[in-house]
């Protein structure tokens, strides 16, 4: 936009007089300040460490140059997204992130921007580590700790449902802990927007271990798939593996569809009661089907939880990740953090080339860029 306006106002046929020229210069100066002030770009950041990897790119710890503030920046490759026809999911993720800034247990978006070949999400840097990372180290969690995490997750899911959004991919890898030990839900790529409690969808998506039976059957499903996933994550925290897990994916799918949930020792009666209610194969009988989050939080398993205090972060977390500074990455898997930060995150290849693939990418991600209207600015 900046370059385009520069060309227009500097065109000799448009500079009719000194007055027009001065007005045009003033206009471009104001536009330039507005544009450069609020829209972030890769060179505004120092990319320090790789802290995660996904199907379409990497997540990096980055420091904003002018004030040293840390962010997690998700860098995605456009060509990979386009090749897999996943642009709708990426745009849905951007839309959902913009709606989530006011909830304590959902990651916040500060900026999104794009270059010719990459997309960038500038997110909160949540450095307590993935729940998956801690669960791998400890194998299982004591029930009070699992209950605390599940309550915060349920609150986040309930909030998404209130916005008519189904999350569809709850799993330990998508659940982070902040520096105090509170839950932060991230990765909204599989979210479905416009889903009221009465609506259904049929897209087959999710992570195999956590798929609800109705998704596997390719039946229309509703937001109760999230409550199934919540039950699966609770089971995994208490017992170390998802409830119907098998190394053989076909066997696991058969287990999800047909195998009964077998009662195991080590959990309270209330815990087993909510596991059975959430992992009910018939979604019309599943906990949350009738009254969504209100029904879930009313279960006896949560009788000790004060939900107002929980959502105001007044309840002390059962585990402190022991974070020493905003740059601390000790709670991230060394498999990621020991990887070299690619130089390409700060620039795009083929910047001077305008070809069909670039034009296609521009069309596919129209409206992706976002800057806050005020407050957090690069000016």
Query: Which domains, from first to last, does the chain contain?
Result: 42-126+330-365 (3.30.200.20), 130-312 (1.10.510.10)
The alpha carbon dihedral of 213, 214, 216, 221 has a sign of negative
3-state secondary structure 223-278: CHHHHHHHHHHHHHHHHCCCCCCCCCHHHHHHHHHHCCCCCCCCCCHHHHHHHHHH
- Measured in whole angstroms, the distance separating CA 177 from the mean position of its chain's CA atoms is 13
Annotated binding site for ATP: 83
**Unique residue bearing structure tokens 């000799």:** 12
Phi-psi region of 107 (alpha: psi -120 to 50; beta: other; left: phi over 0): beta
DSSP assignment string, 144-156: HHHHHHHHHHHHH
The pLDDT assigned to 99 comes to 83
Give catalytic status of residue 46 as yes or no.
no
- Measured in whole angstroms, the distance separating CA 147 from the mean position of its chain's CA atoms is 22
Annotated binding site: 83
In order along its 379 residues, the chain shows pLDDT tens digits of: 766 665 666 665 555 444 454 455 444 444 433 444 467 889 999 999 999 887 788 999 999 998 899 999 999 999 999 999 888 889 989 999 988 667 999 999 999 999 989 999 999 999 998 999 999 999 999 999 999 999 999 999 999 999 999 999 999 999 999 999 999 999 898 999 998 888 988 888 899 999 999 999 999 999 999 999 999 999 999 999 999 999 999 999 999 999 999 888 889 999 999 999 999 999 999 999 999 999 999 999 999 999 999 999 999 999 999 888 888 888 988 888 888 888 777 766 544 334 445 545 567 888 898 888 755 544 3
User: Which residue in the list 44, 117, 124, 169 is annotated as catalytic?
Assistant: 169
The pLDDT assigned to 318 comes to 96
DSSP bridge pairs for 106: 185
DSSP 3-state of 206: coil
């Amino acid at each position: 936009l900046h370059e385009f306006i520069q060309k227009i106002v500097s065109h000799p046929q448009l500079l009719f007089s000194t007055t027009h020229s001065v007005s045009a210069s003033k206009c471009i100066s104001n536009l330039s300040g507005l544009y450069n002030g609020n829209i972030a770009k890769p060179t505004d950041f120092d990319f320090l460490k790789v802290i995660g990897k996904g199907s379409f790119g990497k997540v990096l710890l980055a420091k904003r140059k002018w004030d040293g503030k840390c962010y997690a920046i998700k860098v995605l490759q456009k060509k990979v997204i386009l090749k897999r026809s996943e642009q709708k999911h990426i745009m849905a993720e951007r839309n959902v992130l913009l709606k989530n800034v006011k909830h304590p247990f959902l990651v916040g978006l500060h900026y999104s921007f794009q270059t010719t070949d990459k997309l960038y999400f500038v997110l909160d840097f949540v450095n307590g580590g993935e729940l998956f990372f801690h669960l791998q180290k400890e194998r299982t969690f004591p029930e009070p700790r699992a209950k605390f995490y599940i309550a915060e997750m349920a609150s986040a899911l309930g909030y998404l449902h209130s916005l008519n959004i189904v999350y569809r991919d709850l799993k330990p890898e998508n659940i982070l802990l902040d520096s105090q030990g509170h839950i932060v839900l991230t990765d909204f790529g599989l979210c479905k927007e416009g889903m009221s409690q009465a609506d259904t969808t049929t897209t087959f998506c999710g992570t195999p271990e956590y798929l609800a039976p109705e998704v596997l059957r390719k039946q229309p499903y509703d937001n109760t798939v999230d409550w199934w996933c919540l039950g699966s994550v609770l089971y995994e925290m208490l017992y170390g593996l998802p409830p119907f897990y098998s190394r053989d994916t076909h066997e696991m799918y058969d287990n999800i569809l047909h195998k009964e949930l077998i009662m195991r020792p080590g959990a309270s009666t209330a815990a087993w009661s909510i596991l059975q209610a959430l992992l009910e194969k018939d979604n019309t009988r599943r906990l949350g089907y009738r009254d969504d989050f209100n029904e879930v939080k009313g279960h006896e398993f949560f009788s000790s939880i004060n939900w107002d205090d929980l959502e105001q972060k007044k309840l002390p977390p059962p585990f402190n990740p022991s974070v020493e500074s905003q740059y601390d990455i000790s709670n991230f898997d060394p498999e990621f953090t020991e990887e070299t930060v690619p130089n390409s995150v700060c620039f795009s290849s083929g910047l001077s080339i305008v070809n069909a693939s670039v034009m296609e990418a521009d069309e596919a991600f129209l409206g992706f860029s976002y800057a806050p209207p005020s407050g957090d600015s690069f000016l």
